Amino acid sequence: MLLADKVCLITGAASQRGIGRATARVFAKHGASTVILDLDETQARLAASELGDKHLGLACNVTDKRACLDAADRVLQKFGRVDVLINNAGITQPIKFMDIKPENYDAVLDVNLRGTLYMSQAVVPQMRKQRSGSIICMSSVSAQRGGGIFGGPHYSAAKGGVLGLGKAMARELGPDNIRVNSITPGLIQTDITGDKLTDDLRAEILKGIPLNRLGAADDVANACLFLASDLSAYTTGAVIDVNGGMLIH
Protein backbone atom coordinates (compact mmCIF):
# COMPACT_ATOMS: atom_id res chain seq x y z
CA MET A 1 0.00 0.00 0.00
CA LEU A 2 1.94 2.98 -1.26
CA LEU A 3 -0.75 5.62 -0.65
CA ALA A 4 -2.34 4.58 2.65
CA ASP A 5 -4.40 7.46 4.12
CA LYS A 6 -3.38 9.88 1.36
CA VAL A 7 -6.04 12.15 -0.15
CA CYS A 8 -5.57 12.27 -3.90
CA LEU A 9 -7.43 14.54 -6.36
CA ILE A 10 -7.54 13.62 -10.03
CA THR A 11 -9.03 15.97 -12.61
CA GLY A 12 -10.76 14.56 -15.72
CA ALA A 13 -11.07 11.17 -14.03
CA ALA A 14 -14.64 10.11 -14.88
CA SER A 15 -14.02 8.88 -18.43
CA GLN A 16 -14.44 5.07 -18.33
CA ARG A 17 -11.36 4.13 -20.39
CA GLY A 18 -9.32 7.21 -19.49
CA ILE A 19 -5.94 7.68 -17.85
CA GLY A 20 -7.51 9.55 -14.90
CA ARG A 21 -9.97 6.77 -14.15
CA ALA A 22 -7.25 4.10 -14.38
CA THR A 23 -5.11 6.18 -12.02
CA ALA A 24 -8.02 6.46 -9.55
CA ARG A 25 -8.37 2.65 -9.54
CA VAL A 26 -4.65 2.11 -8.93
CA PHE A 27 -4.61 4.76 -6.17
CA ALA A 28 -7.67 3.23 -4.46
CA LYS A 29 -5.97 -0.19 -4.49
CA HIS A 30 -2.98 1.41 -2.76
CA GLY A 31 -5.12 2.76 0.09
CA ALA A 32 -5.78 6.34 -1.07
CA SER A 33 -8.99 8.29 -0.58
CA THR A 34 -9.53 9.36 -4.16
CA VAL A 35 -11.40 12.43 -5.38
CA ILE A 36 -12.69 12.21 -8.94
CA LEU A 37 -13.19 15.62 -10.53
CA ASP A 38 -14.83 15.97 -13.95
CA LEU A 39 -17.31 18.08 -15.88
CA ASP A 40 -20.39 16.03 -15.02
CA GLU A 41 -21.26 15.54 -11.35
CA THR A 42 -23.25 12.33 -11.89
CA GLN A 43 -20.43 10.70 -13.86
CA ALA A 44 -17.86 11.80 -11.29
CA ARG A 45 -19.95 10.36 -8.43
CA LEU A 46 -20.50 7.11 -10.28
CA ALA A 47 -16.77 6.73 -10.92
CA ALA A 48 -16.05 7.38 -7.24
CA SER A 49 -18.71 4.96 -5.97
CA GLU A 50 -17.26 2.23 -8.19
CA LEU A 51 -14.06 2.51 -6.12
CA GLY A 52 -15.79 2.05 -2.74
CA ASP A 53 -17.32 4.10 0.07
CA LYS A 54 -14.51 6.42 1.08
CA HIS A 55 -14.07 8.11 -2.31
CA LEU A 56 -15.64 11.33 -3.56
CA GLY A 57 -16.87 12.47 -6.96
CA LEU A 58 -17.36 16.18 -7.68
CA ALA A 59 -18.15 18.36 -10.68
CA CYS A 60 -15.25 20.66 -11.47
CA ASN A 61 -14.57 22.42 -14.75
CA VAL A 62 -10.86 23.16 -14.40
CA THR A 63 -11.10 26.24 -16.65
CA ASP A 64 -13.21 27.90 -13.94
CA LYS A 65 -11.11 29.18 -11.04
CA ARG A 66 -14.12 29.43 -8.71
CA ALA A 67 -15.06 25.80 -9.44
CA CYS A 68 -11.49 24.68 -8.62
CA LEU A 69 -11.51 26.59 -5.31
CA ASP A 70 -14.95 25.20 -4.42
CA ALA A 71 -13.82 21.63 -5.17
CA ALA A 72 -10.74 22.06 -2.98
CA ASP A 73 -12.98 23.41 -0.16
CA ARG A 74 -15.32 20.42 -0.42
CA VAL A 75 -12.34 18.05 -0.23
CA LEU A 76 -11.02 19.81 2.87
CA GLN A 77 -14.46 19.69 4.52
CA LYS A 78 -14.66 15.92 3.96
CA PHE A 79 -11.06 14.81 4.42
CA GLY A 80 -9.24 17.71 6.10
CA ARG A 81 -6.15 17.38 3.91
CA VAL A 82 -4.83 17.13 0.33
CA ASP A 83 -1.75 15.06 -0.44
CA VAL A 84 -1.74 14.55 -4.20
CA LEU A 85 -3.12 16.38 -7.25
CA ILE A 86 -3.06 14.87 -10.72
CA ASN A 87 -3.70 17.57 -13.34
CA ASN A 88 -5.06 15.12 -15.89
CA ALA A 89 -8.04 16.87 -17.54
CA GLY A 90 -7.28 17.50 -21.18
CA ILE A 91 -8.77 17.81 -24.64
CA THR A 92 -7.19 17.63 -28.07
CA GLN A 93 -8.17 18.61 -31.61
CA PRO A 94 -6.60 17.10 -34.75
CA ILE A 95 -6.35 20.28 -36.81
CA LYS A 96 -3.59 21.89 -38.88
CA PHE A 97 -1.68 25.05 -38.04
CA MET A 98 -3.53 27.41 -40.44
CA ASP A 99 -6.92 26.03 -39.39
CA ILE A 100 -6.55 26.93 -35.71
CA LYS A 101 -9.26 29.48 -34.93
CA PRO A 102 -9.29 31.64 -31.82
CA GLU A 103 -11.94 29.42 -30.24
CA ASN A 104 -9.82 26.28 -30.92
CA TYR A 105 -6.80 27.91 -29.32
CA ASP A 106 -8.80 29.05 -26.30
CA ALA A 107 -10.48 25.68 -25.74
CA VAL A 108 -7.28 23.62 -25.90
CA LEU A 109 -5.07 26.04 -23.97
CA ASP A 110 -7.76 26.61 -21.35
CA VAL A 111 -8.38 22.99 -20.37
CA ASN A 112 -4.80 21.71 -20.62
CA LEU A 113 -2.79 24.68 -19.38
CA ARG A 114 -5.03 27.16 -17.56
CA GLY A 115 -6.74 24.21 -15.82
CA THR A 116 -3.37 22.99 -14.54
CA LEU A 117 -2.64 26.44 -13.12
CA TYR A 118 -6.07 26.94 -11.51
CA MET A 119 -6.38 23.51 -9.89
CA SER A 120 -2.83 23.68 -8.58
CA GLN A 121 -3.49 27.16 -7.14
CA ALA A 122 -6.55 25.71 -5.39
CA VAL A 123 -4.59 23.01 -3.50
CA VAL A 124 -1.19 24.61 -2.87
CA PRO A 125 -2.27 26.68 0.20
CA GLN A 126 -3.30 23.47 2.01
CA MET A 127 -0.18 21.59 0.86
CA ARG A 128 1.90 24.50 2.17
CA LYS A 129 0.16 24.23 5.55
CA GLN A 130 0.92 20.50 5.60
CA ARG A 131 4.44 21.15 4.32
CA SER A 132 4.04 18.26 1.90
CA GLY A 133 2.40 17.43 -1.38
CA SER A 134 2.89 15.90 -4.79
CA ILE A 135 1.48 17.49 -7.96
CA ILE A 136 1.61 15.61 -11.24
CA CYS A 137 0.94 17.33 -14.55
CA MET A 138 -0.16 15.40 -17.64
CA SER A 139 1.76 16.64 -20.64
CA SER A 140 2.31 14.63 -23.85
CA VAL A 141 4.97 13.37 -26.23
CA SER A 142 3.35 15.93 -28.52
CA ALA A 143 5.06 18.68 -26.49
CA GLN A 144 8.49 17.10 -27.02
CA ARG A 145 8.39 16.15 -30.66
CA GLY A 146 6.15 18.90 -32.02
CA GLY A 147 2.99 16.99 -32.62
CA GLY A 148 1.99 13.51 -31.61
CA ILE A 149 -0.35 11.82 -33.95
CA PHE A 150 -3.71 13.36 -33.22
CA GLY A 151 -3.14 16.70 -31.55
CA GLY A 152 -2.78 19.92 -33.53
CA PRO A 153 0.00 22.49 -32.96
CA HIS A 154 -2.09 24.29 -30.33
CA TYR A 155 -2.21 21.00 -28.35
CA SER A 156 1.62 20.73 -28.59
CA ALA A 157 1.84 24.33 -27.38
CA ALA A 158 -0.51 23.71 -24.47
CA LYS A 159 1.36 20.57 -23.39
CA GLY A 160 4.72 22.34 -23.81
CA GLY A 161 3.31 25.05 -21.55
CA VAL A 162 2.38 22.40 -19.00
CA LEU A 163 6.02 21.23 -18.90
CA GLY A 164 7.31 24.77 -18.30
CA LEU A 165 4.67 25.52 -15.70
CA GLY A 166 5.39 22.24 -13.89
CA LYS A 167 9.13 22.90 -13.75
CA ALA A 168 8.65 26.48 -12.52
CA MET A 169 6.22 25.26 -9.86
CA ALA A 170 8.74 22.62 -8.77
CA ARG A 171 11.39 25.32 -8.28
CA GLU A 172 9.08 27.68 -6.36
CA LEU A 173 7.27 25.09 -4.23
CA GLY A 174 10.23 22.83 -3.40
CA PRO A 175 11.08 24.74 -0.19
CA ASP A 176 7.54 23.89 1.05
CA ASN A 177 8.24 20.21 0.36
CA ILE A 178 5.74 20.20 -2.49
CA ARG A 179 7.04 18.15 -5.41
CA VAL A 180 5.86 18.81 -8.97
CA ASN A 181 6.56 16.42 -11.84
CA SER A 182 5.16 15.84 -15.32
CA ILE A 183 4.38 12.77 -17.40
CA THR A 184 4.66 12.69 -21.18
CA PRO A 185 2.55 9.78 -22.45
CA GLY A 186 2.89 8.53 -26.02
CA LEU A 187 -0.17 7.10 -27.72
CA ILE A 188 -2.38 5.57 -25.03
CA GLN A 189 -5.58 3.69 -25.89
CA THR A 190 -8.38 5.81 -24.43
CA ASP A 191 -11.38 7.64 -25.88
CA ILE A 192 -9.46 10.88 -26.50
CA THR A 193 -8.68 9.85 -30.09
CA GLY A 194 -12.40 9.25 -30.82
CA ASP A 195 -12.81 7.02 -33.89
CA LYS A 196 -9.73 8.41 -35.70
CA LEU A 197 -7.47 5.41 -34.97
CA THR A 198 -8.04 3.18 -38.02
CA ASP A 199 -6.28 -0.21 -38.36
CA ASP A 200 -3.97 1.18 -41.10
CA LEU A 201 -2.98 4.16 -39.00
CA ARG A 202 -2.40 1.93 -36.00
CA ALA A 203 -0.06 -0.35 -38.02
CA GLU A 204 1.83 2.70 -39.29
CA ILE A 205 2.22 4.11 -35.77
CA LEU A 206 3.47 0.79 -34.38
CA LYS A 207 6.45 0.88 -36.77
CA GLY A 208 7.77 3.80 -34.72
CA ILE A 209 7.29 2.22 -31.28
CA PRO A 210 10.15 -0.09 -30.17
CA LEU A 211 7.96 -1.88 -27.60
CA ASN A 212 5.58 -2.63 -30.49
CA ARG A 213 2.31 -1.83 -28.77
CA LEU A 214 0.18 1.17 -27.96
CA GLY A 215 0.12 2.24 -24.35
CA ALA A 216 -2.55 1.23 -21.84
CA ALA A 217 -4.07 3.68 -19.37
CA ASP A 218 -2.53 1.57 -16.58
CA ASP A 219 0.97 2.24 -17.95
CA VAL A 220 0.45 5.92 -17.17
CA ALA A 221 -1.42 5.21 -13.93
CA ASN A 222 1.59 3.28 -12.62
CA ALA A 223 3.91 6.21 -13.39
CA CYS A 224 1.45 8.42 -11.46
CA LEU A 225 1.67 5.98 -8.54
CA PHE A 226 5.44 6.32 -8.45
CA LEU A 227 5.32 10.13 -8.57
CA ALA A 228 2.47 10.37 -6.03
CA SER A 229 4.13 8.08 -3.48
CA ASP A 230 7.20 8.43 -1.33
CA LEU A 231 9.08 6.18 -3.78
CA SER A 232 9.83 9.44 -5.61
CA ALA A 233 10.56 11.50 -2.48
CA TYR A 234 13.68 13.11 -4.01
CA THR A 235 12.22 13.67 -7.50
CA THR A 236 10.88 17.08 -8.48
CA GLY A 237 10.82 19.06 -11.72
CA ALA A 238 11.20 15.80 -13.63
CA VAL A 239 9.51 14.66 -16.82
CA ILE A 240 8.77 10.93 -17.12
CA ASP A 241 8.24 9.49 -20.61
CA VAL A 242 5.65 6.71 -20.88
CA ASN A 243 5.79 6.17 -24.62
CA GLY A 244 7.09 2.66 -25.42
CA GLY A 245 10.22 4.23 -26.90
CA MET A 246 8.31 6.32 -29.48
CA LEU A 247 10.65 9.18 -28.54
CA ILE A 248 14.08 8.39 -27.11
CA HIS A 249 16.18 11.44 -26.30
Active site residues: 155
Site string for ligand NAD, 171-200 (x = CB under 6 A): --------------x-xx-xxx--------
Q: How far is the CB of 190 from ligand NAD (least distance, A)?
A: 3
What number of other Cβ atoms are within 10 A of residue 69's Cβ? 17
In sequence order, which residues have a C-beta less than 8 Å from that of residue 10 and are 6 or more positions away? Answer: 20, 23, 24, 27, 34, 35, 36, 37, 85, 86, 88
Q: How far is the CB of 229 from ligand NAD (least distance, A)?
A: 20
Q: How far is the CB of 38 from ligand NAD (least distance, A)?
A: 5
Nearer to ligand NAD, 182 or 229 (CB): 182
Site string for ligand NAD, 200-239 (x = CB under 6 A): ----------------------------------------
In sequence order, which residues have a C-beta less than 8 Å from that of residue 126 and are 6 or more positions away? Answer: 72, 76, 81, 82, 133
Residue nearest to ligand NAD (CB): 90
Nearer to ligand NAD, 170 or 223 (CB): 223
Give the pairing of strands 56-59 and 84-87. Answer: unpaired
Give the C-alpha separation, 187 to 22, whole Å.
15
User: How far from 12 is each of 47, 199, 238, CA to CA, in Å?
Assistant: 11, 27, 22
Out of 9, 10, 12, 36, the residue judged to bind ligand NAD by CB under 6 A:
12
Nearer to ligand NAD, 20 or 152 (CB): 20
Find residue 33's DSSP bridge partners: 7
- Binders of ligand NAD among residues 44 to 63 (CB under 6 A) are 60-63
Longest dimension (CA), the chain: 52
Give the C-alpha separation, 190 to 215, whole Å.
9
User: How far from 53 is each of 8, 42, 46, 135, 236, CA to CA, in Å?
Assistant: 15, 16, 11, 24, 32
19 binds ligand NAD (CB under 6 A): yes
Q: How far is the CB of 115 from ligand NAD (least distance, A)?
A: 6
The percent of the chain in helix, strand and coil, each rounded to the nearest 5, is: 50, 15, 35
Segment lying near ligand NAD (by CB under 6 A), choices 71-79, 90-98, 163-171, 195-203: 90-98
- Binders of ligand NAD among residues 106 to 125 (CB under 6 A) are 111, 115
Q: How many residues bind ligand NAD (CB under 6 A)?
A: 28
- Contact set with ligand NAD (CB under 6 A): 11-12, 14-15, 18-20, 38-39, 60-63, 88-92, 111, 115, 138, 140, 185, 187-188, 190-192
